[in-house]
Amino acid sequence: MNTVLITGCSSGYGLETARHFHAQGWNVVATMRNPREGVLPASDRIRMLALDVTDSESIRAALAAAGPIDVLVNNAGIGVVGAFEATPMAHVRKVFETNTLGTMEMVQAVIPQMRARRSGVIVNVTSSVTLAAMPFAAAYTASKQAIEGFTGSLSHELSAFGVRVKLVEPGYAPTTRFSQNTELNIADLIPDAYADFAKPIFADFANPALTTKESDVAKVVWQAGQDLSGRLRFPAGADAVALSKAR
């Protein structure tokens, strides 16, 4: 039976992806910084492990406990919304530590086992901000664009060993905790000088024409994990699909 390891399973896309893989009959290793009971169904095919993707020892311990995995889903991430001018560089570094370097270190840690078996899939979850430039998302976009370039290069690099590498690009899901997954208050990151510019933008955020559901992302991650066509990018959610087609 196949095994998937998913990062960032405490809520949102990661949690729903864990549920979806389990429903398909897979063994699921659901990881999060602070595992807690009740977020996933009780099952002998689900294990919850503590994992902080910004901590090398935590990565080593989690992968040792997980054993061989067939699919790695790099979903863990933190966000930041606001004017870049007002965003503390300390937080920008935290965003890159999790979204970019955390993903890269997870990938580097699983490559040896997949390369040795000449099989496996790595799915890196980015964002629809990589599909179209959006205001008040500069640092977050940069952290995700880095993974887009990284994944494209890596897909060529590992294809010689039978390891597939994929990108899933989710759209905007108002029901996720993404905007809460930061210690910063959005209002503090919109200086008065930006107020007139920001007002209609945040009004659009509050009433989006198209959105993404957690289940949309889970299904597309599953699809990417099964794909044998050589396709790299998989937009997830109605808004992400529309942006991808427009691009």
- pLDDT tens track for 19-42: 999 999 999 999 999 998 888 989
140 is catalytic: yes
How distant, in Å, are the alpha carbons of 178, 179, 221 from that of 205? 13, 12, 25
As for how many domains the chain has, the answer is 1
Instruction: Tell me the pLDDT tens digit for each residue of 179-210.
Output: 445 567 788 899 889 999 999 998 988 888 89
Cα–Cα distance, 58 to 99 (Å, whole number): 16
Token pair belonging to 131 = 């599909």
Q: Which domain holds residue 151?
A: 3-246
In the three-class reduction of DSSP (H, G, I as helix; E, B as strand; rest coil), residue 46 is classed as strand
Of the residues 13, 140, 172, 194, which is catalytic?
Answer: 140
CATH number, position 60: 3.40.50.720
Least confident range of 37-46, 63-72, 142-151 = 37-46
In the three-class reduction of DSSP (H, G, I as helix; E, B as strand; rest coil), residue 236 is classed as strand
Residue 5 has pLDDT above 90, yes or no: yes
Instruction: Tell me the pLDDT tens digit for each residue of 65-122.
Output: 999 999 999 999 999 999 999 999 999 999 999 999 999 999 999 999 999 999 999 9
